Amino acid sequence: MEFELNDEERAFQSACRKFGDRVLRTNERKIDSEGRIPADVLRAMADLGLLAMPVPSEYGGMGASAVLTEIAAEEVGRGDFSMATAVFFLLEAGWGSILARHGSEATKQAVLPAVTSGRAFLGIATTEPTGGSDLHGMHTESRRDGKSFVLRGEKSFVSGVEEAKTLGGGHLTLSKAAGGGFNFLYVPTRSDGITTQRFHNMGRMGISTGSLTYQDARVPEANLVGPEGKGFGVAMEGFMVARTFVSAACIGAAERALETGMAYIRERQAFGAPLGKFEGIQFELVDLWTQVEAVKWQCRRAAWLLDTYTLKGDPSHRSEVERAVASVKLTAPPIAFECVKRVMMWYGAAGYTVDVGLELGLRGIMSYLVGAEGGLNIMRIILGRELLGKEFLPYT
Ligand SMILES: Cc1cc2nc3c(=O)[nH]c(=O)nc-3n(C[C@H](O)[C@H](O)[C@H](O)COP(=O)(O)OP(=O)(O)OC[C@H]3O[C@@H](n4cnc5c(N)ncnc54)[C@H](O)[C@@H]3O)c2cc1C
């Protein structure tokens, strides 16, 4: 068992920390207020290798392990507290790695070099206006027509709809296959028959969320990701990867919140002593730190399991990987939210101001509590299924 980062991992972590401090922290308010990540920030991310970093080098990526990507995700979540950059980072890392593993050579060549260099966006589209948890109940349908698929339906609350339109790129899109099962297709947003609409979110404003409507949008069969009719499992594999990176980003944000809070309670005086001397606050810090530390190692282990089994195509530890990922996605966002909330309270009235900046984190992290990358109850359902068996699923 090895808990130490190796030299490469330590050096990359340190480079990402510096990048987070110099580039992301200094831009986070601008990212939030302007509603986009500036082009020079994306360029700097590409230069450091942070765009779709698990993608193999022949398509412009670093071929990074899930562990190294998890380490970087923590730093991106710590750097841009609004979580917008973390979302951009982890969608491309997670779904880029899935496209690299299951896409056709033609699509990988066409899409991945543009994504890794910041010239295109890659995201995921599964949720529909009628719901995101019950994916078997989706309505969007893809019908084979010769060497193409024709899509009809609507996706909703999809991250990066505007980025994919302006920068270029698209989404790995799950649809019901007219012939049975599910198709998972790379769908470029600028295709004929696709319209987008941006929604008005309360947080992580630097990356758009919105809808994609397909009115007989046609994509070539080369855009299939995984076998025809068998896309559901491929999408679920991608969610395991993306959920691990989401959790890592939340852990980075939680650590930043606690560090901010520790600096404050060392200095701020009340009743003749620094706040940190009072057990009501010191013990809260200790409890939060302990939980963050625990989930951090849980998250790294989830990434290690992905590297060791899932991303090598080895299904032998499926249940263990499912449990590791679902439990970390169930734990990391709420503890990160709690850290930010508590630190805001240590600050008192100042915590409620935009100047202190804690609200950025609160608004961003909340997206993972309400549902992004799967609601918390869905993680509980996965865990219940893995602990008790499929016959205990709350639905048939
Ligand atoms: C900021 C943001 C960005 C997003 N980006 C994307 C994206 O890029 N691509 C994409 O496809 N989707 C995206 N989503 C959507 C996300 O995947 C969904 O929010 C999520 O899957 C839940 O779906 P829903 O919101 O429709 O809630 P519903 O499915 O309607 O569920 C509502 C609530 O009920 C709970 N629930 C559902 N079923 C059960 C059950 N059986 N038992 C107990 N509780 C249950 C859920 O956990 C949730 O809390 C994003 C969401 C947000 C907020």
Task: Kindly state whether residues 281 and 346 are assigned to the same domain.
Answer: yes
- Residue 84 in any domain: the answer is yes
C-alpha 278/C-alpha 222 separation (Å) is: 63
Task: Kindly state whether residues 246 and 174 are assigned to the same domain.
Answer: no
Nearest residue (by CA) to ligand 1, atom 24, is: 132
The domain boundary, picked from 67, 101, 121, lies at: 121
Residue 30: CATH number of its domain: 1.10.540.10
Task: Kindly state whether residues 252 and 294 are assigned to the same domain.
Answer: yes
The helix/strand/coil state of 53 is coil
- Residue 174 in any domain: the answer is yes
The response to whether residue 366 sits with its C-beta less than 6 Å from ligand 1 reads no
| 292-to-43, 287, 289, 299, 375 alpha-carbon distances in Å | 31, 9, 5, 10, 20
Residue 382: CATH number of its domain: 1.20.140.10
Task: Kindly state whether residues 248 and 364 are assigned to the same domain.
Answer: yes
- Residue 2 in any domain: the answer is no
Task: Kindly state whether residues 308 and 360 are assigned to the same domain.
Answer: yes
Task: Kindly state whether residues 239 and 381 are assigned to the same domain.
Answer: yes
The response to whether residue 159 sits with its C-beta less than 6 Å from ligand 1 reads yes
The response to whether residue 396 sits with its C-beta less than 6 Å from ligand 1 reads no
The domain boundary, picked from 78, 106, 121, lies at: 121
- Residue 1 in any domain: the answer is no
For residue 128, which atom of ligand 1 is closest to its CA?
A: 26
Nearest residue (by CA) to ligand 1, atom 42, is: 377
Confidence (pLDDT) at 243:
98
Kindly state the helix (H) or strand (E) to which residue 84 belongs, with its residue range.
Answer: helix 84-102
Task: Kindly state whether residues 296 and 358 are assigned to the same domain.
Answer: yes
Residue 131: CATH number of its domain: 2.40.110.10
The neighbouring-strand residues paired with 169 are 121
When divided into structural domains, the chain yields a total of 3
Listed in sequence order, the residues at least 6 apart from 349 whose beta carbon sits closer than 8 Å to its beta carbon are: none
C-alpha 34/C-alpha 112 separation (Å) is: 27
Confidence (pLDDT) at 45:
98
C-alpha 83/C-alpha 330 separation (Å) is: 18
- Residue 113 in any domain: the answer is yes
pLDDT averages per 10-residue partition of the chain, 396 residues:
91 98 98 97 97 98 98 98 98 98 98 97 98 96 98 98 97 97 98 97 97 98 98 98 98 98 98 98 98 98 98 96 98 98 98 96 96 96 97 86
The response to whether residue 370 sits with its C-beta less than 6 Å from ligand 1 reads yes
Task: Kindly state whether residues 116 and 126 are assigned to the same domain.
Answer: no
The domain boundary, picked from 121, 148, 175, lies at: 121
The response to whether residue 130 sits with its C-beta less than 6 Å from ligand 1 reads no
Confidence (pLDDT) at 298:
97
Task: Kindly state whether residues 102 and 212 are assigned to the same domain.
Answer: no
Task: Kindly state whether residues 238 and 339 are assigned to the same domain.
Answer: yes
Task: Kindly state whether residues 262 and 347 are assigned to the same domain.
Answer: yes
Confidence (pLDDT) at 278:
98
Q: Which of 89, 128, 133 to mutate to test the pocket of ligand 1 (most atoms within 8 A of CB)?
A: 133
- Residue 134 in any domain: the answer is yes
Confidence (pLDDT) at 140:
98
Task: Kindly state whether residues 104 and 165 are assigned to the same domain.
Answer: no
Distance 70 CA to ligand 1 centre (A): 23
Domain of 245 in residue numbering reads as: 231-392
- Find out whether 293 and 322 touch, Cβ atoms under 8 Å: no
